């Protein structure tokens, strides 16, 4: 158990809908990262927050947004969902802004029908 | 453009022997490298890491070697155990700038250890 929790475990929704994925980092970790794992793209970095501030952005679609709250939990919002958004979404946390070990949650499997 | 590559999609090894997983990278700005293990329906689990100022790091049965001139790293598992059967991902992190802690992952290698 990495100490990172993610909810929900599974999510099935229709195209055009909006969903929110939630992540609680390990106790004491200030950085939260979001990654997407799809069959054809592998694990892709989406976005990083550190102590409530956005720090780095990957190839995150404009339809996707995230935030980190004062209690350090984070939410990833996905809107106007398309079939291609079906993937595993992982959250990871670490105790630093820069390079270092990241500890991953169990993921949320999103299926868009 | 894939900056981190694991060219072997799969590797099969006998229990007790050495498993060697390889990874190549193209971005010379990467300065921190990690290996993760992943079981189906679980998140990646951190195994071992190495900074670019070192060429070797060891933790129990796991050793990571870094060859900066060749932009190549490898993970050695000795001795291999059936419980090591999983997908192994190599990941790299860049030095500051706008990349911060972003990890760039390889495509993964499926390791199967036969009893």
Across the range A5-22, mean pLDDT stands at 97
CA A1/CA B42 separation, integer angstroms = 10
Facing A45 at nearest CB: one of B49, B89, B104: B104
* pLDDT at residue A12 is higher than 60: yes
pLDDT given at position A102: 95
CA B13/CA A46 separation, integer angstroms = 34
CA B63/CA A32 separation, integer angstroms = 28
Residues B35-52 have pLDDT tens digits of 999 998 899 999 999 999
Residues B72-99 have pLDDT tens digits of 999 999 999 999 999 999 999 985 566 6
Could A45 and B102 be called an inter-chain contact, meaning their C-beta atoms sit closer than 8 Å?
yes
Mean pLDDT taken over chain A = 94
pLDDT given at position B97: 63
CA B20/CA B65 separation, integer angstroms = 10
- Residue B56 CA to chain centroid, in angstroms? 13
Residues B13-22 have pLDDT tens digits of 999 999 999 9
Could A48 and B102 be called an inter-chain contact, meaning their C-beta atoms sit closer than 8 Å?
yes
pLDDT given at position A100: 85
How many residues are listed for chain B in this entry? 115
pLDDT given at position A46: 96
């Amino acid at each position: 158990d990495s100490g990172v929790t993610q909810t929900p475990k599974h999510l099935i929704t229709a195209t055009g809908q909006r969903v929110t994925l939630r992540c609680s980092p390990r106790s004491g970790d200030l950085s939260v990262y979001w990654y997407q794992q799809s069959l054809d793209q592998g694990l892709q970095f989406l976005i990083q927050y550190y102590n409530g501030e956005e720090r780095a952005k990957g190839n995150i679609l404009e339809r996707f947004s995230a935030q980190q709250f004062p209690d350090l939990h984070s939410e990833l919002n996905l809107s106007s969902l398309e079939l291609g958004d079906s993937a595993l979404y992982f959250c990871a946390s670490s105790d630093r802004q820069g390079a270092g070990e990241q500890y991953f949650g169990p993921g949320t499997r999103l299926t868009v029908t | 453009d894939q900056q981190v590559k694991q060219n072997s999609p799969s590797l099969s090894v006998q229990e007790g022997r050495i498993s060697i997983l390889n990874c190549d990278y193209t971005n010379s700005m990467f300065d921190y490298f990690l290996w993760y293990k992943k079981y189906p329906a679980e998140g990646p689990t951190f195994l071992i890491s190495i900074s670019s100022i070192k060429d070797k790091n060891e933790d129990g049965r796991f050793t990571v070697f870094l060859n900066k001139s060749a932009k190549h790293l490898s993970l050695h598992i000795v001795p291999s155990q059936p419980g090591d059967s999983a997908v192994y991902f190599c990941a790299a992190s860049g030095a500051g700038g706008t990349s911060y802690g972003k990890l760039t992952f390889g495509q993964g290698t499926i390791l199967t250890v036969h009893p």
